[in-house]
Amino acid sequence: MKEPVHVIGAGLAGSEAAYVLAERGLSVVLHEMRPRRMTPAHHSDRFAELVCSNSLGGEARTNAKGLLQAELRAAGSLVMAAAEAARLPAGGALAVDREVFSHYVTERLEQHPRIEVVRGEVEEVPKARPLVLATGPLTSDALAADLQARLGEPFLSFYDAAAPVILGESIDMSVCYRAGRYGQDADYINCPMTEEAYRRFHRAIAEARRHTPHDWEKLEFFEGCMPIEELARRGYETPLFGPLKPMGLPDPRTGERPFAVVQLRQEDREGRMWSLVGFQTGLKWGDQKTIVRLVPGLENAEIVRYGVMHRNTYLNAPHVLAGPNLELRALPGVFVAGVLAGVEGYLESAATGWLAAVQAAARAAGATDPGVPPPESMLGGLVRFLASANPRDFQPMNANWGLVPPVPGKLPKREKRERMFARGLEAFRAWRERAHVSRA
Ligand SMILES: Cc1cc2nc3c(=O)[nH]c(=O)nc-3n(C[C@H](O)[C@H](O)[C@H](O)COP(=O)(O)OP(=O)(O)OC[C@H]3O[C@@H](n4cnc5c(N)ncnc54)[C@H](O)[C@@H]3O)c2cc1C
């Protein structure tokens, strides 16, 4: 009789993982601390509870989340089956009745003959291997402290202070220029602002609407991590001495120093995604878009990840992962998934739960490593990003088109996306067959 595989956390990632393992014939022990210990955001004792929105994102064949949904469907995902069972009319989005959704997942797992559910907080990383760790953005303090100690470095963050990330191809390089401050390097893209452009930009930030945090997510801001709206509130010139300072960044086309400069930092190895340096923000998403597009050179910027400021427990994935297979370098045999692993979003959590379990199942069976989905697929792009992203100020990432290589040629945006969708799904299916990763 084989030892059971333990899965810690029965959220979006852990539920998917437990199902995959059990369907592959393995005995599973699924640990969930609720209702014995609740988190500040969950309300029930059910698995895969959706803590906020009831949408799993757009379904269109032009939508990055739509591609991840299609891949998960092709993988036989429990979360996608629950979403179908709980589907509500919502235009082009996959919205669900959250009660029906979490009841469905809970029932399927509790009634599974190979899954034992243990209710209670896991305070230390268990010794059993392989292991799937999926305790989410509100991982309990004891387990977070133990994980931190085992990883030996402060690679665990407790809040998310993220700046918007934009698609590289949407930056107007006839306006922006590459340079490092005082000619140190040319790693940054710089967007120069005239005084008039800065004035409009400052006014827009001052008038923008803030996201109202729940009581439990209120943050004490560190001075080095101040949201841009707070800097702007402190005074007209404050951002000019902070993230927008133009010193050492003359525009090579004029040789002159702009009034202000917005810098963009590369987020991924290929340079498909760029974040606005020092622009961590809790502003409403619509207002973020307006403000970003006021920056010269970013008039047509496509935002692939909006800025957020909220409590969030996650690992610095590029530092701690052994590779895109979601295994911790310092703890071989421990596979992480969900927000803890550095993704954002319900679907992304479920998808990494699925992959972590595929890996853990192969390890438990002593089978050949199935590898990870190809880079053209959304899941393949996402886990490669986790393993290779810029570790500096690493922030959790959601499904977006910057994660996968563009299709060649100049095509209208819609057609480009549709081709990327078809190519990604085809690549995912082909990999699954090659790797003998059966549907569940
Ligand atoms: C307030 C908030 C709102 C969000 N809103 C959205 C949204 O609208 N849309 C979206 O796509 N994403 C949203 N997210 C981000 C993310 O997609 C969800 O949090 C998602 O549920 C993450 O899945 P997960 O499996 O990583 O974690 P979770 O779904 O939170 O699952 C983790 C589970 O582990 C359990 N657990 C924690 N510690 C322990 C322990 N020590 N022992 C045993 N069990 C433990 C928890 O009780 C929980 O059930 C939100 C996140 C937060 C915090």
* 336 & 360 share domain: yes
CATH of the domain at 173: 2.40.30
pLDDT of residue 202 exceeding 80, the answer is: yes
Instruction: Convert the pLDDT of each residue in 269-315 to its tens digit.
Output: 999 999 999 999 999 999 999 999 999 999 999 999 999 888 889 99
Confidence of residue 155 (pLDDT cuts 50, 70, 90): confident
Eight-state DSSP code of residue 311 = E
pLDDT of residue 440 exceeding 70, the answer is: no
* 378 & 359 share domain: yes
Residue 9 annotated in ligand binding: yes
More confident residue, 183 or 265: 265
pLDDT of residue 432 exceeding 90, the answer is: yes
Q: Which residues surround ligand 1 with Cβ inside 6 Å?
A: 8-14, 31-34, 39, 41-42, 51-53, 121-122, 134-140, 143, 338-340, 344-346, 349
Give the distance (Å) from ligand 1 centre to CA of residue 131.
18
Question: Is 315 contained in some domain?
Answer: yes
* 299 & 336 share domain: no
* 17 & 136 share domain: yes
Question: Is 439 contained in some domain?
Answer: no
The pLDDT score that the predictor gives to residue 276 is: 96
* 409 & 364 share domain: yes
* 339 & 200 share domain: no
Q: Which of 28-42, 279-293, 304-318, 425-439 has the lowest mean pLDDT?
A: 425-439
C-alpha 106/C-alpha 270 separation (Å) is: 40
Select from 246, 276, 306 the last residue of a domain. Answer: 306
Give the distance (Å) from ligand 1 centre to CA of residue 260.
39
Question: Is 338 contained in some domain?
Answer: yes
Beta bridge partners of 210: 283
Residue 282 annotated in ligand binding: no
Confidence of residue 210 (pLDDT cuts 50, 70, 90): confident
The pLDDT score that the predictor gives to residue 226 is: 84
Angle, in degrees to the nearest 10, between helices 78-85 and 64-74 = 110
Question: Is 70 contained in some domain?
Answer: yes
The pLDDT score that the predictor gives to residue 159 is: 79
Instruction: Convert the pLDDT of each residue in 89-148 to its tens digit.
Output: 888 999 999 999 999 999 999 999 999 999 999 999 999 999 999 999 999 999 999 999
Instruction: Convert the pLDDT of each residue in 313-349 to its tens digit.
Output: 999 999 999 999 999 999 999 999 999 999 999 999 9
The pLDDT score that the predictor gives to residue 218 is: 56
pLDDT of residue 72 exceeding 60, the answer is: yes
Q: Which residue's CA lies nearest to atom 49 of ligand 1?
A: 11
| Maximum mean pLDDT: which of 184-188, 195-199, 225-229 | 195-199
- Which of ligand 1's atoms lies nearest the C-alpha of 339? 26
The 10 Å Cβ neighbour count of residue 394 is 20
Q: Determine the average pLDDT of the residues in 208-229.
A: 69
CB 209 within 8 A of CB 287: yes
pLDDT of residue 392 exceeding 90, the answer is: no
Q: Which residue's CA lies nearest to atom 5 of ligand 1?
A: 52
* 52 & 153 share domain: yes
pLDDT of residue 170 exceeding 70, the answer is: yes
Select from 306, 321, 355 the last residue of a domain. Answer: 306
CATH of the domain at 42: 3.50.50.60
* 127 & 37 share domain: yes
Give the distance (Å) from ligand 1 centre to CA of residue 95.
18
* 286 & 412 share domain: no
Phi, psi torsion values for 261, nearest 5 degrees: -135, 130
Select from 276, 306, 336 the last residue of a domain. Answer: 306
* 271 & 299 share domain: yes
Eight-state DSSP code of residue 235 = -
Question: Is 287 contained in some domain?
Answer: yes
> How many domains in the chain?
2
Give the distance (Å) from ligand 1 centre to CA of residue 39.
9
Confidence of residue 433 (pLDDT cuts 50, 70, 90): very high
What domain range includes position 38?
5-160+310-434
* 194 & 232 share domain: yes
* 20 & 135 share domain: yes
pLDDT of residue 179 exceeding 60, the answer is: yes
CB 114 within 8 A of CB 364: no
Beta bridge partners of 303: 166
Question: Is 334 contained in some domain?
Answer: yes
Q: Which of 372, 331, 377 is nearest to 355 (CA)?
A: 372
Instruction: Convert the pLDDT of each residue in 274-287 to its tens digit.
Output: 999 999 999 999 99
pTM equals 0.91
Question: Is 393 contained in some domain?
Answer: yes
Instruction: Convert the pLDDT of each residue in 226-259 to its tens digit.
Output: 899 999 999 999 999 999 999 999 999 999 999 9
The pLDDT score that the predictor gives to residue 436 is: 73
Q: Which residue's CA lies nearest to atom 35 of ligand 1?
A: 9
Q: Determine the average pLDDT of the residues in 181-200.
A: 92
The pLDDT score that the predictor gives to residue 1 is: 56
The 10 Å Cβ neighbour count of residue 60 is 16
Question: Is 440 contained in some domain?
Answer: no
pLDDT of residue 222 exceeding 60, the answer is: no
Average pLDDT value for the chain: 93
